[in-house]
């Protein structure tokens, strides 16, 4: 009996660990998605201000628009512009009497009659430091000279950021809140970029004034056009950098989640454990496709987004989506029902799985969010076949409060929200992304009220008929033709990602050598021979591209060793840069195990005919 009790205790602890693992994976996915949408909102703020700066006729107009946009974005009630008066050590920041403010006449009056030398008060400190400054509570901050006025008006937190023209602080923008708020470093970085955009507006204005004085219309027009091109190019570069950083920062932890889960899936598991692991892999795969789709938001807005087509089983996709979302529905007390009667049993289509899945998930998420307890959400999918193509239809029907007629015309526009959506904490992006997705598939999307007062969101799109390749996906690379293991060198600076590679490759017939940067990789190759090299892109001391160039410059076999980038930076420009450096191919993170093993299999197949001694002795 004691043995049976101990067994039950062990099983209960194992189930608790598995449950905790699933909750942790779900939490990572939720946090990553939420952070991604926050980044998208901030990118939209940058784009809005950049576009306004291009169209404004004067710096004052650009400053006023910026005050309004930042206050609306942050929810802070007071925004104020100070401009530089004087030169050298006698320069001060003085009110430009440009405000975005609620009715706070006392604070406005004191601010407008005050001047701030370098290092004095919040505007003076920003001028001296040439960098953003955040004040958690102005009423207790000794350097905030208007503390008493702020206290009487109920103003607490404040921050200011500079508008630089060259090395000179030309303008300081100051914002105040009714709350005590801790510094938000990511917000201050966004403000720094906005300040750079405004600085270009002031530079452009000054250039135009000088041109008018010289009465050289042709010169003036050329400078204006050049200034506008600089602003546009800078905005595009900022967007590209932002998207690249976002992609990398989200893909890196997601690679660890999916990689370790994939490793767990290849160990002996009970049926229940296998079900849990499959759920994590399915959810992670959905998150990966959502990430790829959201990172293309700018392409949607520019009308340049093209589908990434593949063959997939529509019924399996629907069933997997329902499995992932049914626990969430149960937590909310809502029944999630699938209606697939109009869907053929064998319905393989050629379309963009990421866009279809993301659109369906956004509509499901909204439906569950607004559905009352003890109600139903129905996911109905059908496909009509005609002349060798399918017309796929998807409906999400809820029993929520519905959408008033006045809001129906604008809900698919970016950053447009109903009152209910705003109260629920939405970003106003979900339905806009859905509309862009379906438009890129040559489909249509819409909303209709139900007879019971709820909502019916639907979309339709055409798709070619596809066929799935039979047979299992390979989970291991082919064995080598020689009597030695495959020798692999992997350069990876992230400890979690190194652990993923060990988990995936340790059970195989390979010799895995791990280094932490490109410099160590070049040294390892100079000292030994490998069958294949896996190279990360972003690493300290020496990045992956520089390392690849260094390896290709070596004599002998080292110069022709197969090198594959294994990286989260997989934008088109990045891939072009990798190939230009001399790589043989690119593998993306999170790791696609089938793709990785296919590459390793090809390397293993080359071991037997390759006489490395010929290469190593020919220097």
Neighbours of 72 (CB within 10 A): 13
Which CATH class for the 48-244 domain? Answer: alpha beta
Low pLDDT (below 70) residues in the chain: 1-2, 22, 24-40, 102, 215-222, 225, 229, 231-252, 254-260, 282-307, 406, 408-410, 413-430, 468-483, 607-619
- Two tokens at 329? 């529905």
Are the CB atoms for 442 and 461 separated by under 8 Å?
Answer: yes
Domain ranges of the chain: 48-244, 306-465, 486-616
CA proximity to 324, closest of 282, 354, 296, 360: 282
In whole angstroms, give the CA distance from residue 619 to residue 562: 19
Q: What percent of the chain has pLDDT over 70?
A: 77
For the CA atoms of 521, 522, 528, 533, the dihedral, rounded to the nearest 10 degrees, stands at 50
Q: What is the pLDDT of residues 556-575, one digit of tens each?
A: 777 788 999 998 777 777 88
Domain topology for 306-465: Heat Shock Protein 90 (3.30.565)
Backbone angles phi, psi at 218, to 5 degrees: -65, -45
- Two tokens at 266? 């290849």
pLDDT of residue 39: 63
pLDDT of residue 204: 85
CA proximity to 228, closest of 262, 201, 256, 259: 201
Domain topology for 486-616: Rossmann fold (3.40.50)
CA proximity to 74, closest of 48, 95, 45: 45
Are the CB atoms for 125 and 158 separated by under 8 Å?
Answer: no
Q: What is the pLDDT of residues 381-419, one digit of tens each?
A: 999 988 889 999 999 999 988 887 767 666 776 544 555
Cα angle: 178, vertex 181, 185; to 5 degrees? 130
- Two tokens at 188? 């201050």
């Amino acid at each position: 009996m004691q043995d049976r009790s101990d067994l039950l205790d062990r099983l209960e602890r194992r189930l608790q660990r598995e449950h905790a693992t699933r909750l942790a994976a779900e939490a990572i996915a939720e946090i990553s998605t939420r952070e991604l949408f926050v980044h998208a909102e901030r990118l939209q703020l940058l784009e809005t201000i950049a576009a306004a700066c291009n169209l404004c006729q004067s710096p004052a107009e650009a400053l006023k628009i910026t005050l309004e946009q930042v206050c609306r974005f942050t929810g802070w009630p007071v925004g104020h512009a100070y401009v530089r008066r004087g030169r050298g050590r006698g320069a001060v920041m003085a009110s430009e009497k440009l405000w975005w403010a609620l009715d706070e006449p006392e604070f406005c009056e004191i601010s407008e009659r005050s001047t701030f030398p370098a290092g004095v008060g919040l505007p003076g400190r920003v001028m001296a430091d040439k960098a953003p400054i955040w004040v958690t509570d102005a009423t207790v901050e000794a350097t905030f000279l208007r503390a008493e006025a702020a206290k009487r008006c109920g103003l607490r937190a404040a921050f200011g950021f500079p508008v630089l023209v060259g090395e000179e602080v030309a303008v300081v923008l100051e914002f105040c809140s009714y709350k005590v708020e801790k510094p938000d470093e990511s917000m201050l970085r966004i403000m720094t970029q906005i300040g750079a955009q405004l600085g270009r507006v002031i530079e452009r204005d000054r250039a135009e004034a000088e041109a008018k004085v010289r009465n050289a219309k042709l010169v003036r027009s050329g400078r204006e056009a050049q200034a506008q091109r600089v602003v546009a190019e800078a905005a595009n570069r900022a967007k590209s950098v932002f998207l690249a950083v976002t992609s990398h920062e989200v893909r890196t932890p997601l690679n660890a989640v999916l990689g370790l889960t994939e490793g767990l899936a290849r160990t002996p598991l009970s049926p229940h454990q296998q079900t849990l692991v499959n759920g994590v892999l399915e959810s992670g795969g959905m998150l990966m496709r959502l990430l790829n789709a959201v990172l293309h938001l700018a392409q949607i807005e520019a009308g340049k987004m093209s589908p990434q087509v593949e063959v997939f089983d529509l019924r399996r996709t629907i069933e997997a989506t329902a499995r992932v979302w049914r626990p969430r529905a149960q937590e909310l007390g809502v029944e999630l029902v699938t209606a697939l009667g109009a869907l053929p049993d064998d319905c393989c289509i050629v379309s963009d799985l990421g866009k279809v899945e993301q659109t369906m998930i956004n509509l499901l998420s909204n439906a569950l969010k607004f559905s009352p307890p003890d109600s139903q959400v129905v996911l109905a999918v059908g496909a009509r076949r005609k002349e060798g193509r399918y017309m796929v239809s998807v409906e999400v029907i809820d029993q929520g409060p519905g959408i008033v007629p006045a809001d129906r015309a604008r809900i698919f526009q970016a950053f447009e929200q109903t009152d209910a959506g705003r109260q629920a904490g939405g970003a106003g992006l979900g339905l806009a992304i859905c509309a862009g997705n379906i438009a890129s598939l040559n489909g249509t999307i819409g909303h209709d009220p139900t007879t019971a007062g709820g909502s019916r969101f639907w979309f339709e799109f055409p798709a070619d008929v596809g066929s799935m390749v039979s047979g299992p996906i390979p989970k291991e690379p082919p064995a080598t033709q020689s009597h030695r293991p495959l020798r692999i060198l992997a350069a990876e600076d992230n400890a979690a990602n190194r652990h993923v590679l060990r988990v995936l490759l340790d059970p195989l017939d390979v010799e895995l050598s791990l280094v932490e940067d490109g410099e160590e990789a070049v040294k390892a190759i100079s000292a030994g021979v490998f069958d294949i090299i896996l190279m990360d892109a972003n690493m300290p001391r020496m990045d992956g591209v520089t390392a690849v160039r260094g390896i290709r410059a070596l004599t002998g076999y080292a110069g022709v060793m197969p090198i594959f980038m294994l990286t989260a930076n997989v934008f088109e420009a990045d891939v072009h840069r990798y190939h230009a450096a001399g790589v043989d191919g690119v593998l993306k993170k999170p790791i696609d195990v089938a793709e990785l093993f296919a590459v390793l299999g090809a390397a293993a197949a080359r071991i037997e005919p390759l006489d490395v001694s010929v290469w190593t002795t020919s220097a």
